Each structure stands twice: as structure tokens, then as C-alpha cells.
Amino acid sequence: MEQGHEIFHQDELENMRTERLERVEIAKGTIITYCHDKIKVPNGHICEYDFIKHQGAAAILPVLDDGRLLLVRQYRNALDRFTLEIPAGGLDGPDEPTMDAAVRELEEETGYTSDKVSFLISTYPTVAYGNEKIDIYLAEELKKGERRLDEDEFINVEAWSMEDISELIFAGKLQDSKTIAAVMAYSYKKRT
Amino acid sequence: MEQGHEIFHQDELENMRTERLERVEIAKGTIITYCHDKIKVPNGHICEYDFIKHQGAAAILPVLDDGRLLLVRQYRNALDRFTLEIPAGGLDGPDEPTMDAAVRELEEETGYTSDKVSFLISTYPTVAYGNEKIDIYLAEELKKGERRLDEDEFINVEAWSMEDISELIFAGKLQDSKTIAAVMAYSYKKRT
């Protein structure tokens, strides 16, 4: 199962490994550290790669008893527009269990707590140049409570049907990677 | 349809917008540029945000006539391990149409060409701190040809059934965001 049916030129994995000769920290940011890596690729060439160090994040897909999903809407500076996403946030520290972080973000951003939290999928958004990992959980049996936003957070909470979210996704209007992966994976899991 | 059913505290969107006061380029990398942004959040506080500028990328989910999907396996320096992903790559320039880039990567990395390429989904992997956008296409009616890897690229090509890929995803073993989003979205689309 770990190995699919191979086709085309199949190298030995050992011959395809790159080797990192050096990692230089260029600049520290608020949530990431930017580095330059010096990499020896299998043909012996030396290449310069970008590397973004990130301590990890967690996200959660909250499902109401009527089947609708809770999404948060907020302005994203990096895109210069509002996005619709599942609740998510960075870990408090590198050792915080991602399930704890996911449950914390659920409560802070939506006010809901959940009696049934389970692992859904684990994702790396930027395998080409960063080590950020987002573990995504599923929250069911939700109970409404009070939300506790950070004072610098401005977030709306909306309930959406699977059909309406999917329509947005396939129209190219909902584009957040973790949200697409989570919603589509949940739909697959429910069916199988 | 654009607006779901709102719940909880619902601010006017105008009151939730952040304002960028300054963007300073800190360092240029091979495929990204690292910046510090000075942001005024709606309560008047000034915050420092990371921003990673990226010119965009394209990916493609190739489906063989027997229903199996083509994935590429390669060593990823950022994760220090091999990954299994759909074919993908950066745009040749900011104006390259993403469909052209997707078709190019399909041929370069797998050797296949396709007579039927269609838009699948559009994704932003890092809405919190970067503007990278990956448009993902579906390639059907594949024809086998010669692949043309860059000399510094070392990639295996493997054909996988949807069932086996899904098993890897839900076991947390296939973790690339764009690949999970694409595979799960394709499965949803095929069904509905």
C-alpha cells in the first residue's frame, strides 16, 4: 500500500536525496524565520533554496448538528481582501499539542466548544520552501458559548451548507488551501 | 449564495478591514521575497506582520484512463523527507497563464500530455502571511510521451488509485496541501 505502481524512469530513492550543506538565518519575523539554504542536489550541483521556518499551526472544521459548517470571515493583509476559512491559528509554542490548539481556536474564534473532536488530516501548505504544518481536526456535538477574540482580531462567524461551500470552491471563490482540503476531506470521509 | 447564514457577533465588513501603512522588503530569495508590513488593525493598534511575496504557481491532477492518478515523489529539503504530490511548479513569469504552466509541468515531470485540461480549484496555501496562489487543473485523456526534467530535478512518477491515496491522506501520511485539496475536490466533483 505504501508503494503505488511505478511507471517511467524510477530512480532508487537514495539517489534522489538532496543534502543541506548550510542554513543561514536571514531575518526573524513575527511568526516565521526566513533562511537561505545551500543545497547539494544529486547531480552534485550546489543550489540556493529559500526556507521559511514556522512552528506549526492547527485548524478545526466545526460541524453543527444540522450538518452546516462554521466558517470565519476576516480581512487578510497578505491577499488584500476578506477570506472565508475554517478556524485556525498558530501553536502557542512548538510543544503545544495541535489538538489543544485547534480546540482553543474553535472556542476563541467561534465561541463553540465540542464534545467530540477527532483527527481529520495533517497538511503542509508549502513543501517547496517551508516547514509549516497544519493539523486539522473535526469538531462535532458543538455547544454554544462565549467567544474570546484577541483584542487585535476581527472575525465574523458564519454557518454554511456543504453544497454552498462546494459551489464557492468550484467557482474559484473560496481559495484557502486548508479550508478546501478540510471540507472536501470531510465530505469524502462522511461518504465512505 | 455569496452570504451564508450569519451567527454571533456580525461586524460590518468595513469595520473589520486592516490598513497597510508600510511594506519593507527585507530580503530577496530564489523564489520568494520576504517583507515586513506595518499594519493598522481596526482598533487603531499598529502591528508588525510577515509578508512573503511569491509570483504564483500551477499544479495539475493527471487522471489515467483507468482512473488512477499520477503522483510525483521527490525529496523536499523543507521537510527533510520525500513527499508524494501532484505535478506542480512556479510560473515562468508573473504573466504566464496558470493553465500553460500546469500543462508544462505535466509534460516536464511526467512525460504525459493531455487532450482535456480543465480548471479544478484555485488555492492560497498561506493566507496568513503570503500571497502565493496555486491554480490547480485536471488533466484527462492522457498521452504518454517523453519527460524533460530540469537537470537539477530528481522525480519519480507513480500511478495511484483514489482508494489508496485516500488511505494515505486519512492516515496522515500524505500531507501536501495542494495534493489533498486537489484529490479530494476531484473525488467530490466526480460524484456530484
A171 touches chain B (CB under 8 A): no
* B184/A7: higher pLDDT: B184
Q: Which of residues 113-142 of A touch B (CB under 8 A)?
A: 119, 121-134
Percent of chain A surpassing pLDDT 70: 95
Is pLDDT of B170 > 80? yes
A14 Cβ neighbours under 8 A, 6+ residues apart: none
Among A60, A122, A53, residue whose Cα is nearest residue A94: A53
**Residue given cell 517523453 in the structure block:** B146
pLDDT band at B6 (very low <50, low <70, confident <90, very high): low
In order of their start, the domains of chain A are 13-54 (no CATH), 57-191 (3.90.79.10)
Nearest Cα of chain B lies from the Cα of A29 at a distance, in angstroms, of 6
Nearest Cα of chain A lies from the Cα of B28 at a distance, in angstroms, of 9
Q: What is the pLDDT of residue A1?
A: 38
Is pLDDT of B3 > 60? no
Is pLDDT of A2 > 50? no
Q: What is the pLDDT of residue B66?
A: 94
- Cell numbers at residue A72, please? 470565519
User: pLDDT tens digits, residue range B109-163?
Assistant: 999 999 999 999 999 999 999 999 999 999 999 999 988 888 888 999 999 999 9
Over range A71-80, report the average pLDDT.
Answer: 97
Over range A145-173, report the average pLDDT.
Answer: 93
Nearest residue of B to residue A126 by CA position?
Answer: B125
Size of interface A-B (CB pairs under 8 A): 284
Is pLDDT of A77 > 80? yes
Q: For residues A154-190, b (16+ Cβ closer than 10 Å) or e, as one string?
A: bbbbbbbebebbbebbbeeebbbbbbbbbbbbbbbbe
**Residue given cell 489515467 in the structure block:** B64
User: pLDDT tens digits, residue range A56-66?
Assistant: 999 999 999 99
**Cβ atoms A76, B127 nearer than 8 A:** yes
Q: Which of residues 12-51 of A touch B (CB under 8 A)?
A: 13, 15-18, 20, 26-27, 29-32, 34, 36-37, 39, 41-43, 45, 47-51
Over range A105-112, report the average pLDDT.
Answer: 96
d(CA A95, CA A65): 32
Q: What is the pLDDT of residue B1?
A: 38
Is pLDDT of B32 > 60? yes
Residues in chain B: 192
Among A158, A1, A163, A151, residue whose Cα is nearest residue A64: A158
Q: Which of A184, A187, A191, A192 to mutate to test the interface with B (most CBs of B within 10 A)?
A: A184
A1 touches chain B (CB under 8 A): yes
Is pLDDT of A119 > 90? yes
Residues in chain B closer than 8 A to A181 (CB atoms): 177, 180-181, 184
Over range A15-42, report the average pLDDT.
Answer: 97
Q: What is the pLDDT of residue B192?
A: 86
Q: What is the pLDDT of residue A192?
A: 86
d(CA A53, CA A29): 10
pLDDT band at B44 (very low <50, low <70, confident <90, very high): very high
Percent of chain B surpassing pLDDT 70: 95
Q: What is the pLDDT of residue A14?
A: 86
Over range A17-32, report the average pLDDT.
Answer: 97
How far the first Cα of chain B sits from its last, in Å, is 18
- Which ipTM value was assigned to this complex? 0.96
Instruction: Please judge whether B127 and A82 are an interchain contact, meaning their C-beta atoms are less than 8 angstroms apart.
Output: no
Q: What are phi and psi of A59, to 5 degrees?
A: -140, 165
Is pLDDT of B17 > 60? yes
Among B34, B62, B42, residue whose Cα is nearest residue B126: B34
Pick from B2, B79, B124: CB nearest A124: B79
Residues in chain B closer than 8 A to A73 (CB atoms): 13
A67 touches chain B (CB under 8 A): no
Q: What is the pLDDT of residue A108?
A: 96
Please state, in angstroms and as integers, the Cα–Cα distance from residue B51 to each residue in A86, B34, B130, B176, following that order.
Answer: 21, 6, 5, 22
Over range B63-88, report the average pLDDT.
Answer: 97
**Residue given cell 473525488 in the structure block:** B187
H or E element, residue A134 = strand A134-144
Over range A99-125, report the average pLDDT.
Answer: 97
B172 touches chain A (CB under 8 A): yes
